[in-house]
Amino acid sequence: MGTSDQIIMACCSDIAGQVRGKGFPESDLPTRLKRGIGWTPTNVMINCFDVIADSPFGALGDLALIPDPNAGYIIRDAGGEPVEQVMLGDIVTLEGDPWNCCTRSILKQALRRLDEVAGLNVTAAFEHEFQLLDSAEGASGDSGTAYSLGGARSGATMGRRIFQLMARNNLRPDTFMKEFGADQFEVTMKPSDGLGAADQATMLREMVRVAAAEGRRRATFTPIRTPAGVGNGVHVHVSLNDRDGKPVTYDPDTETGLSEAAASFAAGLTTFLPSILALLAPSAISYLRLTPHRWSAAYNNLGLRDREASVRICPVTALDPLAIARQFNLEIRACDAAASPYLQLAAIIHAGTEGIARELAAPKVTEADLSVLSAEELAAMGIARLPTSLDEALKLMAGEAAITSWFGEEVVAVYQAHKRGELAVLDGLSPEDQCARYLEVY
Ligand code: GLU
Ligand code: MG
C-alpha cells in the first residue's frame, strides 16, 4: 500500500453485465475511497457491443463511482507482484446519494425491502458455467469428457488457479467440474450474504477470465454458442434467514419442506418470472437456451429435484435438522451471465418479496415434462411458457406495474432503451450470427 506504481481499478457491473471502470494510483486510495472516480450517466447506455443506445442523459451530468474496499480482489503473478487490483463500488450523485441506475445500489435497495416487508435477509450463491475457446491441446471438446476426470484434467491448471484466486480473495470455492458441453466447465462458490454473493459472482467471472488467459485460452460465459449447442447457465441459489441469522427456508412439516415464507417467496418467483426474465436472461440469444430439454428452464414452474424447473427446491445432503435448515435452498435456473449479478439478484429478491407481501400460496410442484402439455393444460396448472424472445420478455417487463414499483420508472425506461438498442444492433442477423456476436463479448 502507498506506492504509486500500482493501479487500482474502481469498477461497476453494468446493465450490459460488463465490468467497467477506471484506474487510479494505489497511493490515491484514501481520497478515492471518499471521492471516488468520475462517472458519466450515459455510460449506462453502452450496450455489450459498445454501442450507445439513445440516451436520456446525453452528454450531461456527473456521477462518482466510490470503490468499496470490502468488494475487491488482487491477482498476483508468480513473483507476488500485483497484476490486477479491482474494487467494485457504488455509483452516487454528486450529492452523495445512490444513483438510480447503479446496479449495486439497486440490489441493496431490494435487500432493504425484503427486510422491511418480512424481516428477512438472504444467503445466496451463484453457480457459473463457461466454455474455453482457443483450446491449446484440444484435450476436451471431444466426446466422452462430460463430467469426467479426463475432462476435468484438461482444465485442471485453470481450475486450481481459479480456486487459488478465490481463496486468496475471500471467496470460498465450492466445486469445479467438467460440465456436459464441449470445453464446458462449471465453478461454484459457497454461499454468503446477498450483496456479498453478487460481488463475488462479479469478481469470479473476472477471475475465471484471468485464469483461462494465463493458459492462453479464453473463457466465454456467453449464454449459448450455437443455436443447437449447450447453454452456459447461471444458477442462483437463495435461502432466507431471520434478523438473528436463523435459517427459515425449511419446515419439516410441509409437503415440499418449504416454510410459509419460503413458499410465498417461491410463489412470487414463479408468478413474476416471465416479467423479470429480461433481467435474468437479458441477451437476444438467452432465449435459445431457455427451451425445453436443455436442463435450463422454459416454464415458470417450481420443481423438486427437477433440473428443467426454473425454480428448483434443491436436495439436501445434511442429516441433522439444523444443518438441513441451513442447506435448504431454492435454485433459480433461468439466469445467464449476460446479466449483471446485482440486477439478477435484485429482481429475484423483489419478486420473492412481492410473493411474501401478497401472501401468495405455495406453487404446486410440477413433476411432468411440461413440454408435452397443451397450453390449456398448462394454464389449468397456472403455468406459462416463459417468453421465447428478448423482445417478448422486455414487453412483459414493461407491462408489469410491480416491476416499476420496485425499480422506479427511470430504471425501467433506461433498461428498456438499453436493451432495445442492443436488439437494433442484431437486426437482420441469423441466430447463428447473433451467437457469434455475443461470443465476442461475453
Ligand atoms: N447447462 C445447463 C444450463 O444451461 C445446466 C446444466 C446443469 O448444470 O444442470 O442451465
Ligand atoms: Mg451445471
DSSP per-residue letters across 197-242: HHHHHHHHHHHHHHHHHHTT-EEE--SBSSTTS-B--EEEEEEEEE
Of 129, 237, 277, 288, best ligand 1 pocket probe by most atoms within 8 Å of the beta carbon:
129
Separation in Å, CA 110 to CA 106, 118, 157, 159, 310: 6, 12, 38, 33, 21
| Test site for ligand 1: of 147, 225, 235, 291, most ligand atoms within 8 A of the Cβ | 235
Rounded CA-CA distance 358/271 in Å is 11
Q: Is 336 helix (H, G, I), strand (E, B) or coil?
A: coil
What parts of the chain have a pLDDT lower than 50? 1-3, 137-141
Please give the grid coordinates belonging to residue 72.
475487491
Nearest to 71 by CA among 171, 141, 172, 155: 171
Q: Residues lining ligand 2 (ion), CB within 5 A?
A: 186
pLDDT on residue 318: 76
Burial (0-12, 13-18, 19+ Cβ within 10 Å), 154: buried
Find the ligand nearest to 230 CA: 1
- Ligand 1 atom nearest to 224, measured from its CA: 4
Q: Which of 285, 295, 311 to mutate to test the pocket of ligand 1 (most atoms within 8 A of CB)?
A: 295
* pLDDT attached to residue 137: 45
What is the maximal distance between C-alpha atoms in the chain?
Answer: 67
Domains and their CATH numbers in the chain = 7-99 (3.10.20.70), 108-441 (3.30.590.10)
CA of 20 to the centre of ligand 2 (A): 27
Atom number in ligand 1 closest to CA 333: 10
Taking the centre of ligand 1 as the mean of its atom positions, its distance from the CA of residue 84, in whole angstroms, is 31
| Ligand 1 pocket list (CB less than 6 A) | 129, 230-231, 233, 289, 294-296, 307, 333
Ligand nearest to the CA of 186: 2
Integer CA distances (angstroms), 253 to 18, 93, 185, 248, 326, in order: 43, 49, 38, 13, 16
**Atom in ligand 1 nearest the alpha carbon of residue 181:** 1
SS3 content of the chain, % helix, strand, coil (to 5): 40, 25, 35
Q: Can you give the pLDDT at residue 1?
A: 45
For residues 340 and 13, the answer to whether their CB atoms sit within 8 Å is: yes
* pLDDT value at residue 349: 98
For ligand 1, pick from 307, 332, 386 the residue to mutate: most ligand atoms within 8 Å of CB: 307
CA of 153 to the centre of ligand 1 (A): 21
C-beta separation of 248 from 241 below 8 A: yes
Burial environment of residue 270 by CB neighbours within 10 A (0 to 12, 13 to 18, 19 or more): buried
CA 231–ligand 1 middle distance (angstroms): 7
Looking at the CA of residue 232, tell me the nearest atom of ligand 1. Answer: 4
Provide the β-strand partners of residue 85.
Answer: 74
pLDDT at 150: 82
